[in-house]
Structure 1
Amino acid sequence: MSERGFRAIFKELSVLALPIVISQGAYAFMIFTDRYFMAQISAQHISASMSGGVTSFVTLSLFLGIISYANAMVAQFSGAGRYSQCSKVVTQGLVLSVAAFPILLLLTFPVTELFRWVGHAEELVALESAYYKVLIYGGVFSLAKAALSSFFSGIGRSWVVMVCDVTGVLINIALSYALVFGHWGLPAMGITGAALGTVIATAITLILFLGFYFRPAIAQLYGVAQSWMIDMGILRKFVRYGFPSGLESFMNVVTFNLFMLMFQNYGTREGAAMAIVFNWDLMSFISMIGLHIAVMSLAGRYIGSGESQNLNRVIAAGFSIALTVAAIFAITFATLAASLVGVFDTGSEDFEQISVLAEAMMLGLACYVIADGINLVASGVLRGAGDTRWLMFASVSVHWAMLVAQVFIIKIWQLGPMVSWWTFVAMLVCLAGLYLSRLRWGAWRSPDRLAKLVSEHH
């Protein structure tokens, strides 16, 4: 076992994180451009793409959370030198992806009624449902891609993730542009075209990942040809460690989605303002998810190799990067709020009112982007260390407490949108404090617990 210095770990984390940050940033830009295309049609379209897109993520989130735990498992097996097990993790992830597909199709029927149940106008429901259904029909591609992406992140070849994802994003933007507005001989399909462009581009990205996965250098070292079998031991690890991550993700995005749908009951202007703010939020949050993935991978690798004494330096390096990036975003959001909101000017008569609310909400975004950075680094370390059950209970509890508060604020007391918004901001700040305390004093640091986790990967 060897103890590494802060500079060495900072460099290792940076090299691992940068390609994933670029990859995630490209994905955020893709969502951003989709919403921008919708803004060129109407405020209702941008609102529908927000609610329909988030609801599709809610539907996929349980399975994505489970399958994405492949990152930590692959990192732990790789750290332990058990390379053939890494490819078996991918196989089990692909099996779970295919098994999830019929469940996703069944869920489209009750979920589309949710838009109507929360009181949205029929015109908005039609747009939301069209966007949502196409994304879910192509959901199996997203799940399978997550398994392969987690493999390459886990073995430290994050540049593969960057190449595949950035290529997919560029294809997505071009396809969505053509299918939304009817260019290059393709039909003008509006919001349905935006969703279809995303599904086709995701399928192409999956093919690119498979191309790298079957390259001789990877296939031979990781025993890909021998990995095509059901491995109950790895499937049990997916259930034991991945299921809490998936359930946490699912429950959290459910609360977020319900909050967003309730917030839209303030009116179309308020819904459009929220969509604009969350578009900019995506640019910061999804980019920092790249750091979260890198931290989880590096922590898992050190634990798998029995070098857990390096975890404190992984934490310090992660926070150094996250807080620097978050501070840049926070200053940008606070000082350039009017210009950033103005990018989505629909030219409608009520955009001035949308702009006033959105600019005020951007200040809240500037506050909680710091909390996001803390949360993503802390949860990355805890996931890499297998502390997924505590994360699930803590995060779900705080999110659902926020949702109950929102029911009172919006539905019962009928307070204004800014009261609702600052309550959401406060929730994220509280969560950051909770994660920091767990990171510092949590039971996950117990040598016995870490030794048990290491023994499972040797």
Structure 2
Amino acid sequence: MSAPLVVSALSWTVMTFVDRVLLKGVSGEAMAAAFSASTLWFTALCLPLGICMYASTFVSQYFGAGQPERIGPSVWQGAWLAVLACPLLLMTIPLAEPAFAAAAHGDETMRLEVIYFQVLMWGAPAMLLAQAFSSFYSGRGRTRVVMLVDAVFAAVNLLLDYAWIYGHWGFPEMGIAGAGWATVVSLWLKAATYLVLLMLPENRARFATLSGMRLDGPLFKRMLYFGGPSGYQLALDVTGFTIFIMLVGRLGPVEAEATSMAFSISTLAFMPIWGLAMGAGILVGQHLGEDRDGVAARATWTSLHVALAYMSVISVTYLLAPDVFLTWFFRGENSPENSPEVYAMAVTLLRFVAAYNLLDATLMVFVSAIKGAGDTQFVLWVSLVMATLLAAASWLAVTQLGVGVYGCWALITGWIWILGVIFLLRFLQGKWRQMRVIEKSPPDLVDGELEPSVA
């Protein structure tokens, strides 16, 4: 279930990672600008994206409950949410300049941040639609389809990056704008591919992917009720993280560049856990749809064991062989000898990442599991409190206390530790076992009489 989702998650991460590596060849400012701008872009997407992603929970529970005719309508409610969110997202394009001016990262970095953010925003609707459409496959456990589609268009994006950033194969040399347009084109091609797959005759017949296209008021409201907190949770967590990134960028260009490298490497390493956690959430949804909460719990614990084993290896590599990851950024004229301060700081920051990796894995697995059951209100309130604390503490650390980059990273490490423990305790409490996001299926009838359920 999870292995293809791991590949799928890695495809997106490799795509953004290579973006930054290629832009490092343009300038250090371009790389740092791409990181901060893409982080703010993702922050703007988080609320609708979290709801679109939650369509997979509805699909998984309907699939487990044996109601395939409700799967197509569930997918389309996520797509309708994406359509309704598009005007609001595009309205953020003119707001980019004042937003990055407030970050105070320097004139050249700010100019590049504005360009990248504004270009990426034209791909935001496609990002949401692709996420909603892909839930048709991921929620049913057909994760290999998601893996293949995502991997193909990640490869397309990488080819376009090389052509558009540096001006190869007849493309204009556009630098950071070229990287943005490569992502936008890839996202729209991916969304179109998922739509074509959704409309295959067998899917229309069995899962009502065409007849269920209409906006279903009750189902849409239920998706907002359960998926809304999930979207807010994602938005709050990423907003707190984004504020942290923006404030650290004020400390100086060396701190901004080293932080960008460390987080880019961290993202590359932990995205397999994101895919594994998504698989756990899907299995929880399917097994709760079957009323088998014990199997759902076993799937979650198995996912955690795999996640911790993987993260242990990654953390040891960060500590003992950081050049395995850093060598991608320090090549040619950008060798460690030419950027000794950035290199030394990035090595130290990877040690902070190693310190929180295991709790980060714990956090992702248990959040995905309880969200797969429908326990999104709890996730929302925890995120509201913790994201507010992170933002406030980051502001105090940078602007009032002057603790420096290492003090800021100690702060983010402690924040992740606390979140990991909170969601572990919530899972052990067990309230998620009685939760469902779908309506109960009607009783079976045999010759006009009720047939006892054998589920």
- TM-score by length of structure 2 reads 0.93
The amino acid across from 2:379 in the alignment is L
Say if 1:178 and 1:457 are closer, same or farther in 2 by CA, change over 3 A: farther
1:196 maps to what in 2? 181
Alignment of 1:74 with 2:62, yes or no, is: no
Runs of 5+ consecutive residues of structure 1 not aligned to the other structure: 1-15
1:9 maps to what in 2? none
Partners in 2 of 1:317 and 1:173 — Cα distance?
34
User: Is the Cα contact below 8 Å between 1:306 and 1:454 reproduced in 2?
Assistant: no
Deviation at 1:339, TM superposition (A): 4.2
Partners in 1 of 2:208 and 2:316 — Cα distance?
48
1:12 maps to what in 2? none
2:432 maps to what in 1? 444
User: Is the Cα contact below 8 Å between 2:204 and 2:211 reproduced in 1?
Assistant: no
Aligned residues: 439
Deviation string for 1:260-310 (max 9, x for gaps)?
010011111110001111111111222211112111111001111222232
Alignment of 1:224 with 2:212, yes or no, is: no
The answer to which of 278-287 and 170-179 deviates more is 278-287
Partners in 2 of 1:212 and 1:194 — Cα distance?
28
The answer to which of 280-289 and 147-156 deviates more is 280-289
1:434 maps to what in 2? 422
Partners in 2 of 1:112 and 1:175 — Cα distance?
26
Deviation string for 1:171-203 (max 9, x for gaps)?
000001100000000100000000100110111
The answer to which of 77-86 and 111-120 deviates more is 111-120
2:133 maps to what in 1? 148
User: Is the Cα contact below 8 Å between 1:63 and 1:143 reproduced in 2?
Assistant: yes
1:31 maps to what in 2? 16
Deviation at 1:331, TM superposition (A): 1.5
User: Is the Cα contact below 8 Å between 2:116 and 2:180 reproduced in 1?
Assistant: yes
Partners in 2 of 1:225 and 1:273 — Cα distance?
49
Deviation at 1:59, TM superposition (A): 0.7
| SS class of match (2:213) | coil
2:219 maps to what in 1? 234
1:380 maps to what in 2? 368
Partners in 2 of 1:79 and 1:443 — Cα distance?
20
Alignment of 1:247 with 2:232, yes or no, is: yes
Deviation string for 1:403-455 (max 9, x for gaps)?
2121121110111210111111111011101111111015334x4xx3x6564
| SS class of match (1:266) | coil
The amino acid across from 2:76 in the alignment is T
Deviation at 1:133, TM superposition (A): 0.8
1:324 to 296, 309, 316: 309
Partners in 2 of 1:59 and 1:439 — Cα distance?
29
2:25 maps to what in 1? 40
Partners in 2 of 1:235 and 1:411 — Cα distance?
43
Say if 1:342 and 1:453 are closer, same or farther in 2 by CA, change over 3 A: closer
User: Is the Cα contact below 8 Å between 2:20 and 2:35 reproduced in 1?
Assistant: yes
The amino acid across from 1:168 in the alignment is F
Partners in 2 of 1:312 and 1:343 — Cα distance?
39
Say if 1:182 and 1:303 are closer, same or farther in 2 by CA, change over 3 A: same
Deviation at 1:369, TM superposition (A): 1.6
Partners in 2 of 1:442 and 1:411 — Cα distance?
42
Alignment of 1:304 with 2:298, yes or no, is: no
Alignment of 1:314 with 2:302, yes or no, is: no
Alignment of 1:334 with 2:322, yes or no, is: no
Say if 1:325 and 1:457 are closer, same or farther in 2 by CA, change over 3 A: farther
User: Is the Cα contact below 8 Å between 1:24 and 1:287 reproduced in 2?
Assistant: yes
Partners in 2 of 1:312 and 1:228 — Cα distance?
34
User: Is the Cα contact below 8 Å between 1:179 and 1:186 reproduced in 2?
Assistant: yes
Deviation at 1:365, TM superposition (A): 0.7
2:447 maps to what in 1? none
Deviation at 1:342, TM superposition (A): 3.2
User: Is the Cα contact below 8 Å between 1:77 and 1:457 reproduced in 2?
Assistant: no
1:401 maps to what in 2? 389
1:272 to 257, 281, 294: 257
Alignment of 1:215 with 2:180, yes or no, is: no
Deviation at 1:252, TM superposition (A): 1.3
1:172 maps to what in 2? 157
Alignment of 1:415 with 2:400, yes or no, is: no
Identity among equivalent positions (%) equals 26
- TM-score by length of structure 1 reads 0.93
Deviation string for 1:224-257 (max 9, x for gaps)?
2211211112111121110001111111111111
2:112 maps to what in 1? 127
The amino acid across from 2:265 in the alignment is W
Partners in 2 of 1:281 and 1:25 — Cα distance?
12
1:99 maps to what in 2? 84
Partners in 2 of 1:42 and 1:54 — Cα distance?
19
Deviation at 1:210, TM superposition (A): 2.1
2:352 to 364, 368, 393: 364
1:355 maps to what in 2? 343
